[in-house]
Amino acid sequence: MFDKLEFLEDKYEDITNKISDPEVINDQSLWQKLMKEHAEVEPIVMKYRDYKNTIAGIKDSKEIIQESSDEELRDLAKMELDELEDRIEGIKDELKILLLPKDPNDEKNVIVEIRAGAGGDEAALFAGNLFRMYSMYAEKRNWKTELMSANSTGVGGYKEVIFMIKGKGAYSRLKYESGVHRVQRIPDTESNGRIHTSTATVAVLPEVDDVEIEVNQNDLKIDVFRSSGNGGQSVNTTDSAVRMTHLPTGIVVSMQDEKSQLKNKEKALKILKAKLYEIELEKQNKEIAQSRKSQVGTGDRSERIRTYNYPQGRISDHRINLTIYRLDSFLDGDIDEILDALITTDQAEKMQMVE
């Protein structure tokens, strides 16, 4: 590990010198590439320098304890030695985490797709609760939310809702949310007060750049039709709605939220690319799963990951056996406690693999 850290520190110094070179600054593409590398390496190098300074401090304190005849100075050195030795293991763990291979999608925006599952109208209402929860979480982090497609019900829920969350690191925080979310509560329509169980599925897809996924136009079947609202009433007098079918995979994306056919096509293609990219990610994850079984996991929308129990006010994440009792604030977007626990567990698993 320390050989790698020395190499990265040398690399950091080299890049630091280059980005202040006038010739490099004039080559904007090279300068931007080096600035990106500099930003990626900097946190590791700063933490490594913190480690080296702490080691030097431990050495100095030990020398004072052994060599000084001043009792008060030796007592101060002992106190400092205890503090530094307490810190050093934590710094080592932080360095191990910083050196873990980065998920190339972590900094990307995400496309979130929520579908009502078992439970009829109650499942659709729960899908609406989840949409609100993620929207409020995005707002707390100063991320932007853009609704892409919605199939709402007459009772205030959603059969399906697709939206984009734009923000630095959105995928790194939300990628663990893919899977089946289960709710246990008494519906308003239930006169006997019986608890019903309903489900909704969540898929979190990284936004895909054009260079990552190329779609052959010959593989697309595009149908246009007239948009309609709830109950079939016409909301548009032109054929602006789009149904895009990817013939090789059979994936179908329909989009009618925009009045412009071109905008609907753009949105549909963005969602299609994200779905095709998800298929590639699933293939990679299956290959990884053959060598290790991840406790946390990401991307499997058939896995039941969490239960929201209204009578007890609790949320239970089944992957890490974590239960918290603050359902109201959680549904208001205060979800970091569970997200942090999932990230920590995933990092711990990866650290064991490295070690």
Asked if 268 and 148 touch (Cβ cutoff 8 Å), the reply is: no
Indicate if 129 and 246 belong to the same structural domain: yes
Indicate if 343 and 218 belong to the same structural domain: yes
- Of 157-161, 286-290, 348-352, the one with minimum mean pLDDT is 286-290
Indicate if 129 and 86 belong to the same structural domain: no
Asked if 229 and 293 touch (Cβ cutoff 8 Å), the reply is: no
| Band of residue 265 on the pLDDT scale cut at 50, 70, 90 | confident
- Predicted confidence at residue 332, as pLDDT, reads 96
Is residue 221's pLDDT more than 50? yes
**Number of domains composing the chain:** 2
Asked if 267 and 145 touch (Cβ cutoff 8 Å), the reply is: no
Q: In the predicted model, what is the mean pLDDT of residues 187-204?
A: 84
- Predicted confidence at residue 349, as pLDDT, reads 78
User: Cα 77 to the chain's mean position, in Å?
Assistant: 44
Tokens of 126: 């729960």
- Predicted confidence at residue 301, as pLDDT, reads 55
Is residue 290's pLDDT more than 50? no
Asked if 257 and 150 touch (Cβ cutoff 8 Å), the reply is: yes
Indicate if 139 and 201 belong to the same structural domain: yes
- Predicted confidence at residue 189, as pLDDT, reads 67
List, in order, residues 6 or more apart from 160 with CB less than 8 Å away: 113, 114, 115, 116, 127, 149, 150, 151
Is residue 155's pLDDT more than 80? no
Indicate if 75 and 159 belong to the same structural domain: no
Is residue 232's pLDDT more than 60? no
Indicate if 37 and 124 belong to the same structural domain: no
Is residue 293's pLDDT more than 50? no
Tokens of 2: 């320390």
| Band of residue 354 on the pLDDT scale cut at 50, 70, 90 | low
If you count them, how many residues does the chain have?
Answer: 355
Indicate if 227 and 331 belong to the same structural domain: yes
Rg (CA), the chain: 26
Is residue 211's pLDDT more than 90? no
pLDDT, greater one: 175 or 284? 175
CB atoms within 10 A of CB 327: 17
- Of 98-107, 200-209, 314-323, the one with minimum mean pLDDT is 98-107
Evaluate whether residue 105 is within a structural domain: no
Is residue 228's pLDDT more than 90? no
**Rounded to an integer, what distance in angstroms lies between the CA atom of residue 346 and that of residue 285?**
14
Indicate if 180 and 302 belong to the same structural domain: yes
Indicate if 124 and 12 belong to the same structural domain: no
Indicate if 158 and 38 belong to the same structural domain: no
The pTM of the full predicted model, rounded to 2 decimals, is 0.67
Q: What is the mean pLDDT of the chain?
A: 84
Indicate if 134 and 93 belong to the same structural domain: no
Indicate if 259 and 124 belong to the same structural domain: yes
Is residue 233's pLDDT more than 70? no
Domain range for 36: 2-98
Q: Is 201 exposed, middle or buried (0-12, 13-18, 19+ CB in 10 A)?
A: buried
Last residue of a domain, one of 37, 67, 98: 98
Evaluate whether residue 103 is within a structural domain: no
| Band of residue 134 on the pLDDT scale cut at 50, 70, 90 | very high
Question: What CATH number did the domain enclosing 317 receive?
Answer: 3.30.70.1660
Is residue 194's pLDDT more than 90? no
**Rounded to an integer, what distance in angstroms lies between the CA atom of residue 225 and that of residue 257?**
12
Tokens of 41: 């390496």
Last residue of a domain, one of 98, 130, 147: 98
